[in-house]
Amino acid sequence: MPVTLQINPELKAQLSALAKQTHRDETELANQAIGNFIAWENGMLDKIKEGLAQADRGEFVDDAEMAAFFEQHSSPSMK
Give the CA distances from residue 34 to residues 5, 29, 39, 76, in Å, rounded to whole numbers and listed in that order. 12, 9, 9, 38
78 within a domain of the structure (yes/no): yes
Residue 24 domain flag? no
pTM above 0.75, yes or no: no
**Count of domains in the chain?**
1
Rounded CA-CA distance 53/56 in Å is 5
Tell me which DSSP letter residue 74 carries: S
The angle subtended at Cα 33 by Cα 40 and Cα 38, nearest 5°, is 30
Q: What is the pLDDT of residues 48-59, one digit of tens each?
A: 999 999 999 999
Predicted pLDDT at 47:
98
Q: What are the tens digits of pLDDT across the range 15-24?
A: 999 999 999 9
- The residue range of the domain holding 63 is 55-79
Say whether pLDDT at 79 is over 70: no
Measured distance CA(70)–CA(63) in Å, rounded: 11
